[in-house]
């Protein structure tokens, strides 16, 4: 088998076999296939596409390039959840305790943030002393004991994906739906859960900017999951506006706690209830018509918050900051950003607002950047709100006063105010299951 022939075959738009795809992934991972040949194949895939079977075989080959986490020692049906990334997206840390409190085990591996999007592991590590690195046995023991563990991804989870993604990033081959879907799903399949719920973000703060592309990505990932033997569903959710009011690591943990108390922002709460409901349905433990009631019972009774506290304690974190969020470290500077005119907020460039938060120290520009866990933005107004000249739009939190001016400039340039009241957007645009899509 020759890489040249495989490149030529895909260049002509032909379908690659399982054996050819496995040859490519194995060869590129172990270094026998050079970058220039892999780049050529990626460009051919980008231009000619892959069908569902090819995409699934690529996903499985990448998943099998490293460790496959075996979760059989965890009792019950394990449901994983993945978000395609956004600004203010702390849903994992809200829905996981809710679902775990209702008897569905959550064995979750999450990533760190890079650029304008936040990472679940970074948010968790803003809790003093909290540990996110565990051996496989430690990880399983925590899930069996507490019902939930959210850990960092293994260093050898789908190594082929890491190597291929780095090449895609510099060869203009990032924006192919098959390659995006295979990248995401290879890690989800390697992570070992029985069922997978996908939160596919769409809009200005998402990787996929249009609803059409977001639905296509969701369909591709659901197809992969089902063909790989995992029960899989997806929701397409709105990222045209930051989710909730808090952007930044410990600021978002505070909002997580408030939401689990039933006091969270409505948009964040509604999306979390919808996601938690789908996870419970996937588990097969409950009937669809009883799930929402059970979710609210978990929140209102305090069971969901207690489950978060149990998880933090099991992961060696300081639970005092969860029990009383005033104990979190606070930024030295809190700056008010004010509206410069009257009118309705009719648009927010979510990516721009994420960058404004990153400037304050809440995110990483490069992988080795150091995060300020207390930095970030608290939104005081959102799309649809009427504001007057001088009204506070948001609060900037930072320990670097030199960052305030640039962050304020970026924030104000990301918010559009006009006399016309905007049309209210949906929070959830579609649900994707095997073989069909429901648009809301």
* 357 and 291 together in one domain: no
* 8 and 155 together in one domain: no
Task: Flag the least confident range among 41-55, 89-103, 163-177.
Answer: 163-177
Per residue in 254-293, pLDDT tens? 999 999 999 999 999 999 999 999 999 999 999 999 999 9
* 299 and 345 together in one domain: no
- What pLDDT is attached to residue 97? 97
Per residue in 230-248, pLDDT tens? 999 999 999 999 999 999 9
Report if residue 352 sits inside a domain.
Answer: yes
* 209 and 262 together in one domain: yes
Mean pLDDT, range 300-314, rounded to an integer: 98
* 93 and 32 together in one domain: no
* 434 and 384 together in one domain: no
* 257 and 110 together in one domain: yes
Confidence of residue 206 (pLDDT cuts 50, 70, 90): confident
Per residue in 81-117, pLDDT tens? 998 878 888 999 999 999 999 999 999 988 766 555 6
Per residue in 343-378, pLDDT tens? 999 999 999 999 999 999 998 776 667 889 999 999
- What pLDDT is attached to residue 115? 55
Per residue in 121-142, pLDDT tens? 889 999 999 999 898 899 999 9
Number of domains in the chain: 3
* 40 and 117 together in one domain: no
Mean pLDDT, range 334-342, rounded to an integer: 97
Mean pLDDT, range 11-34, rounded to an integer: 96
Kindly state the greatest CA–CA separation across the chain: 68
Report if residue 381 sits inside a domain.
Answer: yes
| Residue ranges of E strands in 191-296 | 195-202, 231-238, 246-247
Q: Give the CATH number, domain containing residue 43.
A: 1.20.970.10
* 252 and 160 together in one domain: yes
- What pLDDT is attached to residue 113? 61
CA distances from residue 322 to 81, 234, 279, 309, 378 in whole angstroms, order as listed: 23, 30, 24, 7, 19
- DSSP tag of 31: T
* 335 and 279 together in one domain: no
pLDDT cut 90: percent of the chain above it? 81
Confidence of residue 162 (pLDDT cuts 50, 70, 90): confident
Report if residue 59 sits inside a domain.
Answer: no
Q: Give the CATH number, domain containing residue 178.
A: 3.40.1030.10
Active site amino acids = 82, 161, 168, 183, 187
| Residue ranges of E strands in 141-257 | 148-152, 195-202, 231-238, 246-247
CA distances from residue 251 to 54, 371, 406 in whole angstroms, order as listed: 42, 13, 20
Whether 174 shows a pLDDT value over 90: the answer reads no
Confidence of residue 165 (pLDDT cuts 50, 70, 90): confident
**Where in the sequence is the domain holding 28, given as residue range(s)?**
3-49
- What pLDDT is attached to residue 114? 56
- What pLDDT is attached to residue 118? 66
* 148 and 38 together in one domain: no
pLDDT cut 70: percent of the chain above it? 97
Confidence of residue 216 (pLDDT cuts 50, 70, 90): very high
The answer to whether 195 and 81 have CB atoms below 8 angstroms apart is no
* 263 and 151 together in one domain: yes
- What pLDDT is attached to residue 147? 95
Whether 157 shows a pLDDT value over 80: the answer reads yes
Whether 404 shows a pLDDT value over 80: the answer reads yes
The answer to whether 153 and 187 have CB atoms below 8 angstroms apart is yes
Q: How many CB atoms lie within 10 A of CB 384?
A: 14
* Mean per-residue pLDDT over the chain, rounded: 93
């Amino acid at each position: 088998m020759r890489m040249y022939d495989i490149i030529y075959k895909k260049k002509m738009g032909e379908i690659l076999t399982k054996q050819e795809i496995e040859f490519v992934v194995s060869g590129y991972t172990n270094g026998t296939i050079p970058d220039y040949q892999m780049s050529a194949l990626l460009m051919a895939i980008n231009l000619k596409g892959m069908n569902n079977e090819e995409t699934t075989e690529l996903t499985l080959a990448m998943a099998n390039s490293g460790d496959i986490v075996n979760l059989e020692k965890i009792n019950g049906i394990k449901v994983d959840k993945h978000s395609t990334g956004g600004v203010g997206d702390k849903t994992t840390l809200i829905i996981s305790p809710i679902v775990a409190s209702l008897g569905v085990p959550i064995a979750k591996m999450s990533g760190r943030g890079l650029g304008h999007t936040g990472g679940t592991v970074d948010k968790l590590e803003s809790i003093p002393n909290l540990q996110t690195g565990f051996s496989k046995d430690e990880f399983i023991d925590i899930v069996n004991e507490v019902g939930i563990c959210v850990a960092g991804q293994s260093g050898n989870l789908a190594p082929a994906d890491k190597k291929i993604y780095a090449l895609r990033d510099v060869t203009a081959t990032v924006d192919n739906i098959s390659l995006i879907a295979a990248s995401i799903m290879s890690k989800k399949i390697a992570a070992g859960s029985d069922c997978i719920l996908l939160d596919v973000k769409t809009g200005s703060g998402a990787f996929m900017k249009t609803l059409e592309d977001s639905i296509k990505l969701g369909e591709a990932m659901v197809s992969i999951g089902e063909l790989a033997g995992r029960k899989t569903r997806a929701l397409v959710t709105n990222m045209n506006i930051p989710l909730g009011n808090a952007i930044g690591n410990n600021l978002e943990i505070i909002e997580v706690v408030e939401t689990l108390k039933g006091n969270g922002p409505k948009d964040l709460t509604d999306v979390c209830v919808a996601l938690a409901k789908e996870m419970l349905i996937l588990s097969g433990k409950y009937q669809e018509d009883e799930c929402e009631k059970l979710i609210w019972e978990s929140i209102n009774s305090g069971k969901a918050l207690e489950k978060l506290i149990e998880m933090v304690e099991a992961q060696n974190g300081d639970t005092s900051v969860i029990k009383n969020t005033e104990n979190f470290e606070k930024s030295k500077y809190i700056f008010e950003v004010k509206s410069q005119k009257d009118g309705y907020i009719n648009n927010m460039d979510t990516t721009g607002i994420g960058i404004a938060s990153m400037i304050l120290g809440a995110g990483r520009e490069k992988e080795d950047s150091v995060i300020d866990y207390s930095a970030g933005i608290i939104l005081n107004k959102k799309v649809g709100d009427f504001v007057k000249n001088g009204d506070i739009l948001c609060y900037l939190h930072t320990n670097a006063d030199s960052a305030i001016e640039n962050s304020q400039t970026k924030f104000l340039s990301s918010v559009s105010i006009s006399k016309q009241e905007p049309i209210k957007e949906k929070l959830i645009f579609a649900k994707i299951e095997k073989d069909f899509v429901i648009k809301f």
